[in-house]
Amino acid sequence: MEPTYSDIYMLLQREPVAKQYFDTLPDYVREQIRTRPNGVNSFASLKDYAENLTRGDG
């Protein structure tokens, strides 16, 4: 089972792969994620939320 953290900041600090993924996201997606830091507590939730935000881009 994937580890969960208290918020996005702890996730990014503890999971280098999540940090690397987060850094590749568009600025507006990163800003949106930062508005609800407690809602993103695992790499899976980060990916799901980012995919929802970018759906329709391109």
What's the pLDDT tens digit per position in 10-57?
999 999 999 999 999 999 999 999 999 999 999 999 999 999 999 876
2 in a domain, yes or no?
A: no
> Rounded to whole angstroms, what are the CA distances from 28 to 3, 15, 19, 31, 51?
26, 22, 16, 5, 13
36 in a domain, yes or no?
A: yes
43 contacts 2 by C-beta, under 8 angstroms? yes
pTM: 0.89
How many domains is the chain built from? 1
Task: Find the domain containing 49 and state its range.
Answer: 8-54
CB atoms within 10 A of CB 8: 23
* Residue 49 to residue 29: CA distance in whole angstroms: 9
29 contacts 55 by C-beta, under 8 angstroms? no
User: For position 57, what pLDDT does the model report?
Assistant: 66
1 in a domain, yes or no?
A: no
